[in-house]
Structure 1
């Protein structure tokens, strides 16, 4: 079966490959700023759906399984996506250190005219990082590329002191949830293994 990941995220691709899938990557090109809501789970799910539908429409392949995802961090009543620049990333990290936020990852799977959408959430506890550590981390550029300005599977992993929930959600694609959604489409997870 043709599996298509509607995401440019190297972490999502690596996670799927580690789980035995070998998806084709097609970037959606969706303008994420077109969606506005005060509910982070709904926002993540809606963006995942937009990306999935945009790629599916371009493929014109009813047999393809298209997977769309998007992540946002809910922190102190705000929804945080990717920081606009290094200055914003530094300011964000100075607020987040020693605190906790909730990372929401929306998932949309589509095959033919059937589609399922759901979001997963994981609580992330940030370490008490120093100003020097924040400056050094932001200087790497890594936090500028990801929702919430941190990774758990890269350099930022040392600055996360714990999570409550599925760590895959924090990486950007929950394998347990994805398995359930693919199952809802009538596809066995193990049939996706290469």
Structure 2
């Protein structure tokens, strides 16, 4: 990889990283397939295997670490990333150069992959799935003071009714949300 001018990305979903000379952008690349990452097939919504939302945050956190930044200010999901039953998708995470405050914009894109890193023959365009902002330090969030009665309240509250969750995953599946073992807690 280094002979091609690429660095290892050191992330389970990303294989390589390169900083662009003329812009200072960082580009992280990977290839997603349920064959290589079988746990991805455990996240199916309405019959489609989708990259979970938390994966975007994990990609952003990794990009923040690689660029020496301390926090992810936000991640906005724009389009689901559906994984094919057969084949793969190319994944690209781009981090722009820092702005005046040191923050860097982030984007996550994908497109179908025919194999060996070659795009599908139909010339499929890149789809942007998420955008975000990486910042040098976490944005402080004011913590509201607890209400006096909440601080001493017993848990569960006296009038609470237990909810039986033993059949939660079959009920979710019946509504189109299939969570396999990797997503059951």
Larger Rg: 2
Would you tell me which structure has more strand in proportion to its own residues? 2
- Of Structure 1 and Structure 2, which has the larger fraction of its residues in helix? 1
Give the TM-score, by structure 1 length: 0.28
TM-score (norm 2): 0.29
